[in-house]
Amino acid sequence: MPFPSELIERLSDAGARRELGRLLDAWAGAAAFKVERGEWTPTSDSQNNLTGTPTFANAKYAQIGGLVVYQLTIAGLSLTASGARTFINFTLPLPTLGSLDLIVGSGVIDNGTTTAIAAVRDAGGSSSDKALLFFMSNFTGSISNPIQIHGFYLR
């Protein structure tokens, strides 16, 4: 099987070279990834060891082919106990392929003097549009700085 460059060299006819160029351009256009950027309004319907009403901000995403990259912040929450399993779910900008697809992310919880690191995973159940931020709390009281979250998943 000849290499593509050898095939092009064999095309002595200018019309054949133009046709090959047109076909390669069409192929490259079809193979190009769809890129979509946007903002969304996350919501939450479940939380543990947290009080307050979550306020979501800076919720942005980019879809590149089948990969969705997202970021958001959550404010307005306080921790009720230290050393407790803590979580909050949030809606994703675009649904995943299924209810238990891979959703990866991390978050930073900071009250000004103490910091906790959180992980993001799928929310489980039959939902294909929610993720779950979870961590072990290491302080109580107000989370004075917005929780910063970022991650990605396949769609």
User: What does the domain layout of the chain look like in residue ranges?
Assistant: 1-32, 36-154
Band the pLDDT of 18: cuts 50, 70, 90. Answer: low
| Each residue's pLDDT tens digit, 94-143 | 988 765 567 889 999 988 888 999 999 887 766 678 899 999 999 999 99
pLDDT at 1: 46
Q: Average pLDDT of 49-55? A: 96
pLDDT at 64: 86
Q: How many CB atoms lie within 10 A of CB 80?
A: 15
pLDDT at 10: 54
- CATH number belonging to the domain at 36-154, selected among 2.60.40, 2.60.90, 1.10.3470, 1.20.58: 2.60.90
Assess whether pLDDT exceeds 70 at residue 22: no
pLDDT at 25: 66
Q: Average pLDDT of 77-82? A: 95
The phi, psi pair for 14, rounded to 5°, reads -60, -35
Sign (positive/negative) of CA torsion 131, 133, 134, 140? negative
In a 10 Å sphere around its CB, with 0-12 CB exposed, 13-18 middle and 19+ buried, how is residue 150 labelled? Answer: middle
The phi, psi pair for 120, rounded to 5°, reads -120, 135
Q: How many CB atoms lie within 10 A of CB 137?
A: 21
Measured distance CA(98)–CA(95) in Å, rounded: 8
Q: How many CB atoms lie within 10 A of CB 25?
A: 10
Q: Are 89 and 132 in contact (CB under 8 A)?
A: yes
pLDDT at 95: 85
